[in-house]
Amino acid sequence: MLSRILRGSLMRRKRRKLLSLLAVTLGIAVATAVATISLDVGDKVNRELRSFGANISVTPAADGLAVAVGGVDYRPAGAGAHLAENGLVNLRKIFWRNNIMAFAPLLDVPVTARGRRAILVGSWFSKNLQVAKKDTFRTGLEELHPAWKVEGRWPNDDDSTQPAQCLVGRRLAASMAATVGEVITVNAPASEATRRQGGPKFENRNSKFGPDEDPELRISNFEFRVSGILDSGAAEDDQILAPLGAVQKLAGLEGKVRRVEVSALTKPEDAFARADVTRLSAEAFDRWYCTPYVSSIAYQIQQAIPGSEARPVYRVAATEGKILDRVELLMEILAAAALATAALAVASMMLATILERRAEIGIFKSLGATNARVAALFLLEAGSVGLAGGAAGYFLGSLLARQLARQVFGTPASIHWVFFPAALALALLVTLAGSALPLRRGLKTSPAAVLRD
């Protein structure tokens, strides 16, 4: 009996039912698309933000007071402590190793090129790092700074090439009239490390003393071929970037690096992330350690590389966190607005249905039907529309998210079936919430007044 009444109710006023179905479908489609993008494309958004550069800086723990101007370390190459290059592979062995997107070691040497003082920076450009027997990780400046613009091409990491290749910063190249393809000679004072270790001696042709008579004036002359002009928009525009091995030989610091820049996917920090780690309980510490905060990843890096100190670059991390938080807030507002609109549309349709069927409600109540039974009939009708709209909205939203991800990020989003029951439940909630007020008004109908009319 109930099923026959429900079927007959659904078949009446089909246009009104279709409008309610369409409203629920669109609301659930928007919510599904937002949820899919947040889950499947969240990492893609984070990866796009990684073009900001490194968000973790690793330096020697025993390092002294830095002499830095504009982010450039101007100490002699042999000053301060250094990190072992062969220990950097441990960055891909920490708990959050898959969140490490790229890293690059750096070794700075003050040099003179064509009468201009500059900083020669040794680093990896595109290096295949052997982590395990079947695990190779590609990293270097190309992966770390995808937003850098290079006129020409990136240098080859093979430091055995003679002359070794290099990048010259845009401003420095303009001041010394360097062009792509030509060879430049850089002059660097012999480092303390070179003299202590009995490294190679280079003759200063401008000195009246021999190399052994005037060690303070000995210089290293090294030739580099300019493979590209770098436009980074930062301090690198005044620097020369060359393969790490070549710069290590020049400075007499084979196997050593001055610092490491790390780019990691992180979760925006909240109050818990900024808590004093030393005062956390064991349970709270485990939760902090197993959450990809920039501070917890830096802590793990510091444990993995002996003698290192890893510090988050909060300027970058905070900027990324604000962008992600605002994007997430915008998505939540959009989904809430779509669901609220769907609920209002359902309420409007239900109110029209209640007013139209006042006589039917009066007959039911005069025959002894309780308010609960009358309400159940209308709620079953609304629930049927809601479930149908939820199913249709889920598939439409998944398709919409797939196309949006393809247009914005170049790769389609996946279909997450875990959202399907949630979409049905949300659609049912929207239709029942939209039906509540009109139904409450309809249940106040007096059978006597309706039948008299």
Provide the 8-state DSSP code for 92: G
- Alpha carbons 258 and 260: distance in angstroms, whole number: 7
Q: Where are the alpha helices (DSSP H) in 97-234?
A: 141-144, 170-175, 192-196
Using 50, 70 and 90 to split pLDDT, how confident is the model at 401? confident
Query: Using N-to-C axis directions, what is the helix angle for 314-356 and 371-409, rounded to 10°?
Result: 140
Provide the 8-state DSSP code for 52: G
In residues, how long is the chain?
Answer: 453
Q: What angle do CA 395, 401, 404 make, to 5 degrees?
A: 140
Predicted confidence (pLDDT) per residue in 102-141, tens digit: 999 999 999 998 888 999 999 999 999 988 888 899 999 9
Across the chain, mean pLDDT equals 79
Determine the pLDDT at residue 372: 73
Q: In this structure, are residues 145 and 232 in contact, taking their beta carbons and an 8 Å threshold?
A: yes
Phi, psi of 434 (to 5 degrees): -70, -25
SS3 content of the chain, % helix, strand, coil (to 5): 50, 20, 30
Q: Which of 240, 218, 90 is nearest to 171 (CA)?
A: 240
Predicted confidence (pLDDT) per residue in 294-352, tens digit: 889 999 999 999 889 998 886 655 665 566 667 777 778 888 888 888 888 888 887 77
Joined tokens for residue 355: 């007013």
Q: In this structure, are residues 405 and 43 in contact, taking their beta carbons and an 8 Å threshold?
A: no
Using 50, 70 and 90 to split pLDDT, how confident is the model at 76? very low
DSSP secondary structure, 376-422, as one string: HHHHHHHHHHHHHHHHHHHHHHHHHHHHHHHHHHSSPPPP-TTHHHH
Q: Report the sign of the C-alpha dihedral through residues 352, 357, 361, 366, in that order.
A: positive
- Alpha carbons 385 and 378: distance in angstroms, whole number: 11
- Of 381 and 109, the structure prediction assigns the larger pLDDT to 109
Determine the pLDDT at residue 201: 41
- Alpha carbons 141 and 349: distance in angstroms, whole number: 59
Q: Which of 45, 54, 46 is nearest to 312 (CA)?
A: 54
Where are the chain's structural domains?
2-44+321-452, 55-312
- CA dihedral of 440, 441, 447, 452, whole degrees rounded to 10: -170
pLDDT of 55 higher than 80: yes
Determine the pLDDT at residue 119: 92
Using 50, 70 and 90 to split pLDDT, how confident is the model at 277? confident
Using 50, 70 and 90 to split pLDDT, how confident is the model at 13? low
- Of 21 and 258, the structure prediction assigns the larger pLDDT to 258
pLDDT of 156 higher than 80: yes
Q: In this structure, are residues 95 and 342 in contact, taking their beta carbons and an 8 Å threshold?
A: no
pLDDT of 159 higher than 70: no
